[in-house]
Amino acid sequence: MPEVDTPYDDEDTNFLERIRQKEGLASIEQVTEWLLKTRLRKQSRHITGRGRAMHLVDRKPSCE
């Protein structure tokens, strides 16, 4: 995933740390990514009625 610096206050950090421990993730950044992907998947299912894969797309030109 692309790197984005997100400032967290103490309340946010405590919340994210609880989720990190519950889900067995290694870092707060992984928690943030997990929460975003979870929300995107849920919204995608709601809009389209189907699940969608969440992965980076390699943007190389198709014809050279």
Q: What is the pLDDT of residues 6-59, one digit of tens each?
A: 778 889 899 999 999 999 999 998 999 999 988 988 887 777 766 666 666 677
CA–CA separation, 64 vs 4, rounded Å? 32
Answer for the pair 6, 12: CB distance below 8 angstroms, yes or no.
Answer: no
**What is the value of pTM for the model shown?**
0.62
- Calculate the alpha carbon distances from 53 to 22, 37, 42 in Å: 23, 10, 12
3-state secondary structure of 6: coil
For residue 9, which amino acid is it? D
